[in-house]
A and B are shown apart, each in its own frame.
Chain A
Amino acid sequence: MAFINDVRFEVDKRAILARLKSHLPSQAILVDEEELRPYECDGLTAYRAMPLLVVLPETEAQVADILRACHALKVPVVPRGAATGLSGGAMPHEDGVVLSLARFKKILKIDPLSRTAVVQPGVRNLAVSEVAAAYGLYYAPDPSSQIACTIGGNVAENSGGVHCLKYGLTVHNVLKVRGFTIEGDAIEFGADGLDAAGFDLLAIINGSEGLLAVITEVTVKLTPKPELAQVVLAYFDDVQKAGNAVADVIAAGIIPGGLEMMDKKATHAVEPYVKAGYDLDAEAVLLCESDGTPAEVAEEIERMKAVLEKSGATSLVVSQNEADRLRFWAGRKAAFPAVGRITPDYMCMDGTIPRKRLAEMLEAIETLSGKYALRCANVFHAGDGNLHPLIMYDANQPGELERATAFGFEILELSVRLGGTITGEHGVGVEKVDLMAAQFSPAEISAFHRLKAAFDPDGLLNPGKGIPTLARCREYTQTRGTTSPSPTATPPRF
């Protein structure tokens, strides 16, 4: 499906190519169509665009040169990591250069005493934990794509994972980011201490989707590995009861290491693929994890079991060893590919809602599934209200992609109406750029544009993504038949 990027540039391809060739070895510049083709999309394969060029710098000096060249000639720049993102944030711009950080893959320093790692942006998320393991430490944020996704992309998207209720998002686990402005100036956000002078720019770099600066180095916090982790599988004969059980666990003063939920459609997709041993008769399963010292875990697991039983769990299974625990989680972590096996294509939504609205949301999804005649499996970061409905479709059947897209839009618009957000952790990218108008007023969108201009006055970094143009907002409002929220008629987002 084409994404019509309405932010376009008049670019002289020969001029930018000549200038880049003077700074980079020839193998660091890709120009031929067959070389460019692999870059036409990221993890959101439904949207594609061919870039003008791809550059693969190896040093910060080269990054600075590329940015200076693009800035001087007003050429858009799309930074790219492992391209596992699910919102099209790394999709190329037709008039622009893709700046791949794939060659920045060194772990520069691991300091067990200060519990920090300094890594280049192309280092894989899991690789940090693997190296830190020798010191009894790990990098806490664990998106499901952690085998492949890279730290630079994690910062750009403010990635979450299944343990962020207790251990936080990327923004809570990064101390310092070094990068370059579009002008090619080196810049540092954050510090080696716990805060930095001036505004908290580190907070806005996390989740900025490559629109503010290009990241070349990240200092992450490492966390001591808990001595022990155990997970309780709690089965329910009713999805609503499972949703209420989540609230009951929190109300009891427990913050589980992980708290995840899958509905019956999800467990049925997963079980033949992973053989996690889930009970396939249950309408929903909760995975509730405790971590800490053995005594602490024993105490907490007992408390969790008591709460879950009282909340109406039909049966409880506690992992008895690490192999059990990993198998139980493997099912949850493999939910996306498992669903991918039972459908030609699927689309993953990423709305977040207040937990108490879960039952309402699941009911609405069921209705929408009928309306659009498309199946939908539900995977849910229950602890933090982040829902991942997986809409199944077949792109080769005329009209199915459009129906799936409309289905997804309705889910996300409902997320906003229920007091939530259109994206919890996957980012806006191109996928949800129009939906920003469902969540923000024109005045708020304008404020976002002004914030971007404070970093990138010419709007050259990842243009057209993340924040819609006001023209797009108007079009959305007209076509969706909803009035975008104004300050006087704000839906109860608070």
Chain B
Amino acid sequence: MDATLNEWAGRVRNAAETGKTLRIRGGGTKDFYGQPTTGEVLDTTPYRGIASYEPTELVVVARAGTPLAELEAALREKGQCLPFDPPYFGDGATLGGMVAAGLSGPRRAAVGAVRDYVLGVKMIDGNGDLLSFGGQVMKNVAGYDVPRLMAGSLGTLGLLAEVALKVLPLPVAERTLRFAMSEAEAIQKLNAWGGQPLPIAASTWQAEALTVRLMGARAAVESAHATLGGEIVPDANSFWQGVREQTSTFFAGDEPLWRLSVASVTSPLGLSGPTLIEWGGAQRWVRGDQGAEQVRTCASRAGGHAVLFRGSQSLKASAGTFQPLSPVLARIHRNLKQAFDPKGVFNVGRMYPDF
């Protein structure tokens, strides 16, 4: 075993034996996400680097501490990318953090989420065992799909060591269009367009303006523009970067930020506070001091759930970051935690207070 992994496994075993907890941390760019957790920091950044990358296989394998910027640059050099636009939220973002947080950016509705691209993981479980699940091929149904389960589990089930990801070619052509439109009209249009074979890669509605990004073959982008109309947005890259990284003005300030994941056809939520819509209507960001209960009820009525994405410590403590689970699901979550981390070593309380 690699010396670093050996050392990590030792620390995990030691923590399990002595009843200590560990807080897994890469670049720390997503420290704000989820609930606070305690424990000695286990820094993943020393275990970095691309282990293998073969563009013709559409697969890259890299160590968890690899800076996301380094990984994306290597892919770009070969004309490929992580199509789901993972947000960095800071310079030091790592591959492990990307998978553990499970967050996807503007293109998610069109191409899938982080979990859809995770093919394999090497991880250390709560017993200190190095385990390998999945692999480096696209189709693999041997054993349960643990690699995808790791995406978005916030490090509560294990310590990621290495990840294999599917990658895709960079789009040949792209164009960003803008339409003046009300919220209700934008939701209707986005869903109607979604039912047509149009190369819509990303969409954002905010402040009476709908912005749509087309990506694909040159001919497809041209003809979609002709069909849809709209005004060409000149500095499109910086616009989409602002949405992906939450640096645009909508996200500025200290007001709580709620993320609602709902059925794409859900009509305007009617919550007070500014709204930004993404993912063809399936993701709604809402700013302001909403009552948590009200937001969560609104999300579950719309077939989804709400996340207190950013907010003060006191609000997080009272409202919890994530939507409470049904009793049956909560039982299975506790059992899964027990299955992978029986002594409760990793990121305790980061997702839900009871594990």
Which residues on A are within 8 Å of B, measured CB to CB? Answer: 111-115, 135-137, 157-158, 160, 164-165, 168-169, 171-172, 181, 185-188, 191-201, 203-204, 206-208, 224-227, 247-248, 250-251, 253-255, 292-293, 295-296, 298-300, 352-356, 381, 384-386, 419-428, 432, 436, 439-441, 443-444, 447-448, 450-455, 457, 466-467, 487-488, 490, 493-494
B137, A354: Cβ atoms under 8 Å? yes
Taking a contact as CB atoms under 8 Å apart, the answer to whether A443 and B263 are in contact is no
Q: Is the CB of B164 within 8 A of A453?
A: no
Contacts of B149 in A (CB 8 A): 199-201, 203-204
Give A386 to B142 CA distance when docked, in angstroms: 13
- Distance in angstroms from B112 CB to nearest chain A CB is 6
The chain A residue sitting closest to B221, CB to CB, is A296
- Give bound CA distance, A439 to B134, whole Å: 10
Structural contact, B116 and A447, CB atoms closer than 8 A: no
Closest to A425 in B: B139
Instruction: Please give me the residue from chain B that is nearest to A446 by CB atom.
Output: B129
Q: How far is the CB of B92 from chain A (nearest CB, A)?
A: 24
Contact assessment for B142 and A254 in the assembled complex, using a CB-CB cutoff below 8 Å: no
Q: Beyond A203-B145, A453-B335, is A421–B140 a contact (Cβ under 8 Å)?
A: yes
Residues of B within 8 A of A (CB): 1, 51-52, 54-59, 61, 79, 102, 108-109, 112-113, 115-116, 120, 122, 125, 129-133, 135-146, 148-149, 151-153, 157, 162, 164, 168-170, 172, 191-192, 194-198, 216-220, 222-223, 261-265, 279, 282-283, 302-305, 307, 322-326, 328-329, 332-333, 335-336, 338-340, 351-352
A-B contact count (CB 8 A): 285
Q: Is the CB of B135 within 8 A of A420?
A: yes
A172-B116, A197-B305 known; A354 vs B142 contact (CB < 8 Å): no
**In whole angstroms, what is the CA distance A494 to B137 when docked?**
9
CB closest residue in chain A, given B168: A255
Query: What residues of B have a CB within 8 angstroms of the CB of A135 in the complex?
Result: 195
A296 and B219 contact, CB distance less than 8 A: yes
Which of A172, A352, A447 is B339 in contact with, Cβ under 8 Å? A447
Partner of B137, one of A204, A384, A450, A490: A384
Selected A-B contacts with CB under 8 Å, 15 pairs:
A158-B141, A160-B139, A165-B138, A193-B304, A195-B152, A201-B332, A203-B149, A204-B145, A208-B144, A225-B197, A247-B57, A293-B197, A439-B143, A447-B125, A447-B129
B329's partner among A164, A201, A248, A419 (CB-CB below 8 A) is A201
- Give Cα distance in the complex from A385 to B216, angstroms: 24
Query: Given contacts A254-B169, A494-B61, A494-B164, are A197 and B325 in contact (CB under 8 A)?
Result: yes
Nearest CB in chain A: distance from B188 CB, A: 8
Q: Which 10 A-B pairs have the closest CB atoms?
A: A192-B303, A295-B219, A454-B335, A203-B148, A193-B304, A424-B139, A450-B339, A253-B169, A193-B261, A192-B263
Q: Which residues of A contact B338 (CB under 8 A)?
A: 450, 454
Q: Is the CB of B351 within 8 A of A198?
A: yes
B194–A450 contact, CB under 8 A?
Answer: no
Which of chain A's residues have a CB closer than 8 A to the CB of B108? 194
* A424 CB contacts on chain B under 8 angstroms: 137, 139-141
Contacts of A169 in B (CB 8 A): 139
A198 in contact with B325 (CB, 8 Å): yes
Contact check, B305 vs A196: say whether CB atoms are below 8 A apart: yes
Q: Are B132 and A293 in contact (CB under 8 A)?
A: no
- Whether B136 contacts A494 by the Cβ 8 Å rule is yes
Contact, CB under 8 Å: A447 / B264: no
Partner of B141, one of A300, A428, A488: A428
Most B C-beta atoms less than 10 A away, residue of A188, A198, A299, A487: A198
Complexed CA–CA distance, A196 and B113 (Å): 12
Are A427's CB and B141's CB within 8 A?
yes
Taken together as a complex, chains A and B put the C-alpha atoms of A198 and B333 apart, in Å, by 8
Residue contact A487 to B197, C-beta cutoff 8 Å: no
Q: Please name the residue on chain A nearest to B334 by beta carbon.
A: A454
- Select which of B61, B140, B145, B261 is within 8 A of A195 by beta carbon: B261
Complex Cα–Cα for A471 and B309 (A): 47
Which listed residue (A427, A448, A455, A487) contacts B332, Cβ 8 A? A455
CB distance from B163 to the nearest CB of A (A): 9
In the bound complex, CA of A187 to CA of B61 (Å): 35
- Smallest Cβ distance from B263 to chain A, in angstroms? 4
Chain A residues within 8 Å of B192, by CB? 113
Q: Which of B115, B120, B333 contacts A494 (CB 8 A)?
A: B120
A195 to B141 CA separation, bound complex (whole angstroms): 22
Bound CA span A165–B338, Å = 35
Distance (Å) between the CB of A324 and the closest chain B CB? 21
Please, how many angstroms separate the alpha-carbon atoms of A225 and B195 in the complex?
Answer: 9
A466 vs B218: C-alpha distance when bound (angstroms): 45
Instruction: Give the residues in chain A near B196, CB-CB below 8 Å.
Output: 136, 224
Q: Find out whether the CB atom of A198 lies under 8 angstroms from the CB atom of B352.
A: yes
Instruction: Select A423's contact among B115, B140, B336, beta carbons within 8 Å.
Output: B140
Given contacts A424-B141, A450-B340, whether A292 and B197 have CB atoms under 8 Å apart is yes
List B contacts of A227 (CB < 8 A). 197
Smallest CB gap from B172: residue in A:
A253
A204 touching B144 in the complex, CB below 8 Å, given contacts A114-B191, A172-B116:
yes
Given contacts A187-B328, A293-B220, A488-B1, contact A253 B170 (CB under 8 A): yes
Which one of A114, A300, A450 contacts B264 once the chains associate, using CB atoms below 8 Å? A114
Q: Give bound CA distance, A186 to B328, whole Å.
A: 8
- Collect the chain B residues with CB atoms within 8 Å of residue A420's CB: 135, 137, 140
- B283: contacting residue among A136, A194, A422, A432, CB under 8 A: A194
Task: Kindly name the residue among A165, A352, A356 whose own CB sees the greatest number of chain B CB atoms within 10 A.
Answer: A352
Q: In the bound complex, do residue A193 and residue B339 qualify as a contact, i.e. CB atoms below 8 Å apart? A: no
In the complex the two chains form, is A247's CB within 8 Å of B56's CB?
yes
Which residue of B218, B304, B339 contacts A192 across the interface (Cβ within 8 Å)? B304
Determine the chain A residues whose CB is within 8 A of the CB of B131 once the complex forms.
441, 443-444, 447, 487
> CB < 8 Å: which of B116, B139, B169 contacts A352?
B139
- Across the two chains, which residue of chain A brings its CB closest to B259? A195
* Least CB distance, A416 to chain B, in whole angstroms: 9
User: What's the Cα separation between A209 and B62 when bound, in Å?
Assistant: 30
Contact A421 B142 (CB under 8 A): yes
Q: A136-B196, A296-B216, A447-B340 are in contact. Are A440 and B137 (CB under 8 A)?
A: no
Q: A295 and B333: CB pair below 8 A?
A: no
